[in-house]
Amino acid sequence: MAIDDYDTATALLKALEASVPFKVRPGKQLLKLMKNKGTPLSAERGYWVEKVIYSGDEGGILCMLKPAATDKELVGSSLTHLIIDPAHPLAASVKAYQRQRSHRLMLQDQRGFAALASSSDSPLKRKKRGGGFGVG
């Protein structure tokens, strides 16, 4: 199953490219990841998106952020882990993309667990075929 609708994602990517630089705030998952990597970000501070790229279904739309004005390196994050300013002209489109992508990732994860459960070494129990309600 494809995570992104390619046409929708590339259209949003082009619109976001035209609005670079724009401000975002990191989401909880990005904050935790960056703290573990030793480059903590602040939830209250806005970060400028310097560049956007599409990385396919694996990462979706990636935003390259500059953690501090003096930093030479950019931090890459999936758009789904960022909070865009509600006043941004593309905020509604970004929210819709994030919602759809998160939903499809969740569905993919559920299918993954189901596939793992069905491929276990234990034999599957067969249902007894009965003659109807309470007859067996």
Taking residues 23-43, what's their average pLDDT? 90
pLDDT, tens digit, for every residue of 44-86?
A: 888 999 999 999 888 899 999 987 777 778 889 999 999 999 9
pTM over the 0.85 mark: no
Rg, the chain, Cα only: 21
The percent of residues above 90 in pLDDT, for the chain, comes to 49
Q: Is 43 exposed, middle or buried (0-12, 13-18, 19+ CB in 10 A)?
A: exposed
Encode pLDDT of 81-109 as tens digits: 999 999 999 999 999 999 999 888 888 87
